[in-house]
Amino acid sequence: MGTGVATGQEMRAVILRSLLQNENTLLRSELHFLAGRTWTELEDLYEKGLALTRFSVECVNPEGGAGKGWEAQLADYQVTSGLLALAIADRLGTTAASADERNRADEIKNEGKKQLRTGYRLLKGFRDADRKALAPLPWSERVFNVSQWEESCSLAERAIHQLNEASP
């Protein structure tokens, strides 16, 4: 009987991880299609991004073990949430019709900065560890092998650089 419960928990965890990854992919693609969205749609999209950041390693990996991979994945979700929030804040800021709307856009931007920087700080360590592990390999093996976190770190680095340049 204990085996059936563990299998059920494992199955739920697998389904949750699959849903989270699909949502992450969807939100990354939504970054390119914000124009023409209503204020409410943008707020909903922002909330979906935040929802990705509310999971713990214990929640997505109740089996334990190999938790470091899930820590990196959750940090990647924070990067996605941050990038999405910044893009939404920019869009809302340009269409704001009142001081309240501009203030809301600023709140979203500040939360996006926080998510982006926190996620990047965590993810960078995993990317750097992958780079270190790949460094001793012969060039012929390294040329096409990169950390799975390179793209997210690169996007985060560019966004943080732009934020730093824009800061007074």
Integer CA distances (angstroms), 152 to 45, 110, 120, in order: 19, 20, 8
Return the pLDDT at 110. 96
- Which amino acid type is present at position 62? P
Burial of 141 from C-beta contacts in 10 A (0-12 / 13-18 / 19+): exposed
At 153, the amino acid letter reads C
Give me the residue label for tokens 């824009």. 166
Q: What is the mean pLDDT of residues 113-131?
A: 96
Q: Are 106 and 49 in contact (CB under 8 A)?
A: no
What are the pLDDT digits (tens) for 35-94? 889 999 999 999 999 999 999 888 888 777 665 688 999 999 999 999 999 999 999 999
Query: Each residue of 78-108: pLDDT tens digit?
Result: 999 999 999 999 999 998 889 999 999 999 9
Element (H, E) at 54: none
Q: Where are the domains of the chain?
A: 2-166
Reference 119, options 67, 79, 164; nearest CA is 79
pLDDT beyond 80 at 128:
yes
CA distances from 36 to 27, 42, 161 (A): 16, 10, 27
